[in-house]
Amino acid sequence: QVQLVQSGAEVKKPGTSMNVSCKASGYSFTRYYLHWVRQAPGQGLEWLGIINPFSGGTTYSQKFQGRVTMTKDTSTSTIFIQLSSLTSEDTAVYFCARDRAGIDAWPKYFFDYWGQGTLVTVSS
């Protein structure tokens, strides 16, 4: 069955960077787009961007442009997100999520499978 398993919780100091991973299994990793979405405590959901696991191509939300980097490692079926220059407003649960569409089509931009979430706390 499709599974997205994320790395564990992180505590970061303001101004540093976070790195979260998401390992896919149960399907062909390079066949489906993957996204990153975050949720601040008690808040709604916010989209950060999308990665094509085949080509490595990315599209980022303009809000995070210049501060976010999404990468992939095909050998381990894993994607990564790095967010730099952290502030307390970046404290959130970060989710990876699979796009409904395969990469032979344009992304659908909604999500049929999600990781379990990774809490990143930014605190001095």
Partner 1 sequence: DIQMTQSPSSLSASVGDKVTITCQASQDVSNHLTWYQQKPGKAPKLLIYDASNLETGVPFRFSGSGSGTAFTFTISSLQPEDVGTFFCQQYDHLPLTFGGGTRVDFK
Amino acid at 55: S
Nearest-approach distance from CB 95 to partner 1, in angstroms: 6
Cβ of 77: how many Cβ atoms within 10 Å?
18
CA distances from 18 to 8, 86, 103 (A): 12, 8, 28
Residue numbers at the binding site for partner 1 (CB under 8 A): 44-47, 59, 61-63, 95, 97, 100, 108-112, 114-117
Nearest-approach distance from CB 99 to partner 1, in angstroms: 10
CA distance 87 to 60: 19
Residue 86 or residue 93: which is nearer to partner 1 going by CB?
Answer: 93
Nearest-approach distance from CB 49 to partner 1, in angstroms: 9
Residue 43 or residue 74: which is nearer to partner 1 going by CB?
Answer: 43
